[in-house]
Structure 1
Amino acid sequence: MQDSLDVFKNRPNAIMFCQELKKITIEIPIKRKDGLVFPPIPGNIYIGNLINDKVKGEKFFTSKDSLTILEQNSNPEKIEIDKSLSEKINSTTFEIELEKRKNGKEYNFYNLSIPIFSLDRQKAFVELEHHCGSLCGSGKGIYLKKINGKWKIVETWRTWIS
């Protein structure tokens, strides 16, 4: 709601929202002998990107969070959102939308990642993707912080665009 996603059932022309959250695999970069480091596989992220990113001038995750972040690689590949929430939104699955794409049909949906949490569970990182056609879509990284018991977006940035 804070990001103004138009996905609720009672809204005309609401966009579909995947009812399963996808996993982001956290990688440790491997430097080649020539010093080059390849970018992470699409959909994955290097732990150094998370640990070194600054939000409002301060490191968001710290080295104390690194083991907790890596342990989250044991998350399942996807997690379904709670049924009480999925009943309120125009929900779909990634498989349904992929089938539409394969058959040349129109599709327009959001896909959210499983949150990556800090050690104290007061900070999180998620990725949100919007797929709206073969050459239409974008992704964004979102840092969240629990403030007074509620999750608040503290920073977003575009990770890709088509």
Structure 2
Amino acid sequence: MSLPAAVLAAGAWLAAVSAALIVTDVRSHRLPDRLVGAAAAGVLALLTVAALTTGQWTDLARAVLAAGTVTAGSLLLALPRATGLGLGDVKLAGVLGLWLGWFGWLVVATGLLAAVVLGGAWTTARLLAGRARRDDAVPLGPWLVLGAALATVAHLAGPAPA
């Protein structure tokens, strides 16, 4: 599958910022607004350039709608509890929804599901091995990024549309 250069640039930008976000989240259980904001601004700007140069306005509209939908859904999950899903996770999920939304709703759902399954499996394994307690904080950012990366790769490696 051939992608517009601006979409490739958006993916590269997101990957670079995500690397910094993962390190920060693992170390401090924080996803700084300045980094998440930089990721959002860069991805949105580059996807807009892609739409301008290719006419893929529907893809951009879906990406923006996916970002809003994922952010709103994540916020609904985060609000009932002061612990668990943090606002940094909510914002990062929205940025990843923006990226995945360019490719379609199924890719968005796949990325989110992969994040939950992988993060849950890792946490369960740690609990069973006695390396964690039920009340330990788990950084979700790395799993959100990994889920989005796997969904992206699976989509791009899949069969070309007929």
Q: Is the radius of gyration larger for structure 1 or structure 2?
A: 1
Q: Which has the higher contact order (CA 8 A, sep 6+)?
A: 2
Q: Which has more helix, going by share of residues?
A: 2
Q: Is the strand fraction higher in 1 or 2?
A: 1
TM-score (norm 2): 0.28
Q: TM-score, normalised by structure 1?
A: 0.28
